[in-house]
Amino acid sequence: MAHTVIATIREPLVEGHKSYHQITEDICSPTERAPGPLWIFGFILSITTLGFGLACIFLTIWNGIGEWNLNRTIGWGWDITNFVWWIGIGHAGTLISAILLLFRQKWRTGVNRAAEAMTIFAVMCAGLFPVIHMGRVWLAIFIFPYPNTRGPLWVNFNSPLLWDVFAISTYFTVSLLFWYTGLVPDLATVRDRAKGLRKKIYSFVSFGWTGSAKHWQRWESLSLVLAGLSTPLVLSVHTIVSFDFATSVIPGWHTTIFPPYFVAGAVFSGFAMVLTLMLITRKIFNLQEYITIAHIESMNKIILLTGSIVGVAYLTELFIAWYSGYVYEQFAFYNRALGPYWWAYFGMMTCNVISPQFFWSKKLRRNITFTFFLSIFINVGMWFERFVIIVISLHRDYLPSSWSYYTPTWVEMGIYIGTFGLFFTLFLIFARVAPVIAIAEIKHILKTAGDQYTGPNATHHDNDHH
């Protein structure tokens, strides 16, 4: 057995002197009892919002993109802003489940399941926008390379927009496989506790899992390789999304700094969303002993790091615009800060650069209320960032006669609100039917990183189980 020496100052990742059975009980029980009033309220709200969003999508498809306020100058507005924002949100899930697995960060076990679910739902929300922004959605199949009736005319494999199609569909598929394979043993746990029809359903979805030693060995091998594949994958996804802009010649877009800057921003916003969700989930499902203050602090440290990277990227952009001596680039940045959209730039700078710096304070990192509000701030800020990059760069470029201004219609806003409905509807269903915390993985770390640590440096605990 590998001996990990745990520093005595490191906090346990599972609290409350849990026995294995208690862990099963705590995490499975929310799926077994009738939903509480808070859940029902949340679900009705989400599904109503989703319905409203669907109505707005219907209007867009029925009447065409004219339902939106895009014009000849500003061809991308809320649609692509929302797309990039949602894709970014998804990145935290993969970072937690894949990169932190490779780095052997045990605190990931408390949050990885929910974060991966969040990834999948966020990518679903994101994928909606490129499809509906095409206008004639029934022609969306044209983005796939297949022998077709247009003569043997293929898609442009050299276009970043097509790379996006491949990147996002791969990302979604791999995330889904990774997540579900991790879920199978836990679904088997729910199956073995269930009776009647529930047992039948969970039998079907748990794939006949028995917990055989060989299966576990292969399962771990699979998880490790999938993590190894997902790590460059998640970096590639936002890199490719940033290519949509960086390979163009629009001032403010034509930037080599975009790939790392986008990836850092994605992780930044993703962690903020994980925190927003998990702070609510741990409270509602009473999981404070599994998602501890130590988990929250770790995530806040990542927010501080990535937030600072994003801040440096903003300042680098400003410096390079000035240093390049290129008037169009200089104007683009002058216009961002002092043009008609100054409020978006101001919002972005405040929320993304200044607000995460509060997390240098340990006290604030461990303050749940503060973390919750800051996580929402960051999500707002990151939305502004995408809006700033997309709309501000487009609205005033080379030809002053074509300068324009853009405000969304209620339909555009409605679709965005609708994606929240979709996201929360899916998340609430997930939290009802599947264990929101990876049960097997928590049991696995209980004695190596939990409060029942038995390895070197272990101190005596008054174990009150049995």
Report how far residue 31's alpha carbon sits from residue 21's, in angstroms, rounded to the nearest whole number.
16
C-alpha 117 chain-centroid distance: 9
Binding region for another protein (CB under 8 A) = 1-2, 19-21, 24, 145, 152-154, 156-160, 162-163, 166-167, 169-170, 173-174, 177-178, 181, 184-185, 188-189, 191-193, 203-205, 207-222, 225-226, 229-230, 232-233, 236, 240, 243, 439-441, 443-444
Rg (CA), the chain: 24
Smallest gap from Cβ 400 to another protein, in A, equals 27
| Main-chain dihedrals φ then ψ at residue 351, nearest 5 degrees | -70, -35
Q: Which is nearer to another protein, 432 or 444 (CB)?
A: 444
- What type of residue is 235? L
Smallest gap from Cβ 24 to another protein, in A, equals 5
Helices 342-349 and 327-338: angle between axes, nearest 10 degrees: 80
Q: Do residues 296 and 371 touch, judged by C-beta distance below 8 A?
A: yes
Smallest gap from Cβ 153 to another protein, in A, equals 6
Smallest gap from Cβ 390 to another protein, in A, equals 21
Q: Got the DSSP string for 258-277? A: HHHHHHHHHHHHHHHHHHHH
Smallest gap from Cβ 409 to another protein, in A, equals 34
Q: Which is nearer to another protein, 69 or 452 (CB)?
A: 452
Helices 439-449 and 160-193: angle between axes, nearest 10 degrees: 80
Q: Which residues contact 411 (CB under 8 A, 6 or more apart)?
A: 56, 59, 60, 67, 68
Q: Which is nearer to another protein, 222 or 364 (CB)?
A: 222
Structure tokens at 3: 């001996």
Q: Which is nearer to another protein, 158 or 401 (CB)?
A: 158
Q: Which is nearer to another protein, 69 or 169 (CB)?
A: 169
Report how far residue 175's alpha carbon sits from residue 226's, in angstroms, rounded to the nearest whole number.
9
Report how far residue 388's alpha carbon sits from residue 83's, in angstroms, rounded to the nearest whole number.
14
Smallest gap from Cβ 435 to another protein, in A, equals 11
Smallest gap from Cβ 237 to another protein, in A, equals 9
Q: Where are the alpha helices (DSSP H) in 285-367?
A: 293-324, 327-338, 342-349, 362-365
Q: Which is nearer to another protein, 233 or 388 (CB)?
A: 233
Structure tokens at 195: 């009776």
Q: Which is nearer to another protein, 20 or 319 (CB)?
A: 20
Q: Where do we find the tokens 């008609």?
A: 340
Smallest gap from Cβ 229 to another protein, in A, equals 5
Q: Which is nearer to another protein, 51 or 232 (CB)?
A: 232
Smallest gap from Cβ 437 to another protein, in A, equals 13
Smallest gap from Cβ 152 to another protein, in A, equals 6
Q: Which is nearer to another protein, 66 or 145 (CB)?
A: 145
Report how far residue 54's alpha carbon sits from residue 396's, in angstroms, rounded to the nearest whole number.
32
Q: Which is nearer to another protein, 146 or 343 (CB)?
A: 146
Structure tokens at 231: 């790590």
Is residue 223 exposed (0-12), middle (13-18) or buried (19+ Cβ within 10 Å)?
middle
Q: Where are the alpha helices (DSSP H) in 388-438?
A: 393-395, 410-433
Q: How far is CA 142 from CA 62, 79, 139, 148, 168, in A?
A: 20, 20, 6, 9, 16
